[in-house]
Structures are given as C-alpha cells and as structure tokens.
Amino acid sequence: MIPDVLKEALQRQIAATDHPREQVMDVVFALQDSFGYLSDELLEEAASLLGMTPLEVEEIATFYEFIYRKPVGEYVIHVCDGVVCWMQEYQSVLNYLRKKLNIDYGQTTTDGRFTLLPTCCIGYCDRAPAMMINRKVYGKLTPERIDEILERLER
Ligand code: FES
C-alpha cells in the first residue's frame, strides 16, 4: 500500500496535468524507487491514481525493460547488448560480471545486492562497452573499471 505522503504527492502531480495518463511513467518510477519493484498491488494502485485500468498500466510496465515486475537487487546492472557494444568487448564484460557476481542474466546475488539484466542500446555507443546501474550509465568498461564502479556503490 502506498504511504499517504507519497500518494498525496503523486495525486498533486497527476492533478496538475490535463491528461493524467501522461504521468504513468513518473508514477510507476516513483513507486518502483520507493518499493524496489512494481508489485501487482502497486500496479493496481497506480492505475487507480491515474484513472487507467490495471491492464493498461501492465502493458506499459512490461514494455519498458527498466520497470521491474518482480523483486530485484539493490543495484540492477543492465549490460548493453546493442550492436556497437557487441563489437566492443560486450561478451568479455558480461563474462566478467557473471563470474564476479556468480549470477547470470535474470538472477540476483544471494546477498540481494545485484541483479544482472541485458538492455538494448543505452546511447553510450561512443563509450562502448557500456552498462547502466540504477539508471546511471557507465562506459569504456574493462574488468578494472567494473571493479572500481562496483566498489564505489554505497553499501
Ligand atoms: S550499443 Fe551499447 S551503448 Fe549503444
């Protein structure tokens, strides 16, 4: 259940627009940021706030790969498998992350810290290979750089 403070903030945001459904991504991301993923219950509450059906919100939520319908780790690592990254060491980046975290795509580390997922091009082609962690993009990845990035994430 959405806490009153967040619900009221979302209601104000939705009321400020002529077309409430335009706010669907903002609402869904706000809920995901607060709860980690978009549960069925949250999806239904989002639909209610927006005046949409749960199915309409579900269609959007399952279209975008950065909306999580299942629990994920504290940090979600999306490795870019776009064509430029493919040509620039994508496979070695993926293999390094798989080995370092001991997980494969779609899995979460046992401590709940990291989830590994693929993504299509994230617009960092000039700095390929690239990945995104919790919506922050990192490029020019090497094993050493990956170690640095993961080490700097807050505990
Ligand atoms: S193909 Fe990977 S960032 Fe564009």
Query: Is residue 69 one of the residues assigned to a domain?
Result: no
Please count the structural domains in the chain.
Answer: 2
Q: pLDDT, tens digit, for every residue of 57-106?
A: 999 999 999 999 999 999 999 999 999 999 999 999 999 999 999 999 99
Residue 50 lies in a domain: yes
Is 68 within a domain?
no
Q: Are residues 46 and 84 in the same domain?
A: no
**Residue 147 belongs to a domain:** yes
Do 131 and 97 sit in the same domain of this protein? yes
List CB contacts of 23: < 8 A, sequence separation 6 or more.
10, 13, 14, 17, 50
pLDDT of residue 154: 74
- Read off φ and ψ for residue 81, nearest 5 degrees: -115, 25
Residues 88 and 55 in one domain: no
Mean pLDDT of the chain: 96
Ligand 1 pocket check for 138: Cβ under 6 Å: no
CB of 137 closer than 6 angstroms to any ligand 1 atom: no
CA of 83 to the centre of ligand 1 (A): 7
Residue 142, domain extent: 75-152
Q: pLDDT for 94-122, tens place per residue?
A: 999 999 999 999 999 999 999 999 999 99
